[in-house]
């Protein structure tokens, strides 16, 4: 059985992804989490804690979906990572990065900024580990972030452009 915090986090993530960070009422969030208001506040005492719980769940799901079970080889790994980011965008968040949206909704939140920074650092680190492009951590992150931001406008065209950039990056570093 899923532990209570996980259950709450899954529901909160779903609610914030679907409706943004300002719109859902606490009652909406309670319903999405499938718990009583008392239980919701026991595990997430404030709306800020609810957002952090949702994003932590999102972080773990994204890392798993994009980086688990990648093929060996630089080009194969890059292509698979970028294809998976495109699929994530199509199925999970067609409006752009939920982490950036959360920080935009609460720009003075130190905990949100910290979570965003940790998420992006782990994405970059896992991309480097998967591709072997040790000297290209920032470049890989820029390609992934560029895909995330351009996908709502360009869809699969953005995925293919990101793959071309990834191949060019791999060739330039060999």
pLDDT tens across 55-80, in order? 999 999 999 999 999 999 999 999 99
pLDDT tens across 4-30, in order? 999 999 999 999 999 999 889 999 999
Domains with residue ranges and CATH for the chain: 4-173 (1.10.357.10)
- 118: CB partners within 8 A, 6+ apart: 59
Residue predicted with more confidence, 171 or 144: 144
Share above pLDDT 70 across residues of the chain, in percent, rounded to a whole number: 97
Half-sphere exposure of 125 (CA within 13 A, CB side): 7
Task: Compute the mean pLDDT over every residue in the chain, rounded to the nearest whole number.
Answer: 93
Residues in the chain: 174
User: pTM of the predicted model, to two decimals?
Assistant: 0.91
Split at pLDDT 50, 70, 90, the class of 132 is very high
């Amino acid at each position: 059985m899923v532990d209570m915090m996980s259950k709450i986090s899954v529901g909160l993530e779903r609610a914030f992804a679907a409706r943004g960070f300002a719109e859902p009422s606490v009652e909406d969030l309670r319903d999405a989490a499938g718990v009583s208001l008392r239980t919701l506040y026991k595990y997430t005492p404030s709306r800020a804690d609810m957002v952090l719980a949702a994003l932590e769940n999102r972080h773990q799901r994204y890392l798993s979906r994009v980086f688990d079970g990648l093929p060996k080889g630089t080009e194969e790994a890059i292509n698979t990572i970028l294809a998976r980011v495109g699929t994530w965008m199509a199925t999970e968040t067609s409006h752009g990065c939920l982490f950036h949206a959360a920080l935009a909704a609460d720009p003075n939140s130190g905990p949100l900024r910290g979570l965003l920074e940790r998420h992006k650092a782990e994405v970059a680190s896992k991309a480097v580990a998967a591709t072997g492009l040790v000297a290209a951590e920032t470049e890989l992150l820029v390609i992934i972030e560029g895909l995330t931001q351009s996908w709502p406008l360009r869809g699969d065209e953005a995925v293919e452009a990101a793959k071309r950039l990834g191949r060019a990056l791999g060739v330039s570093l060999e």
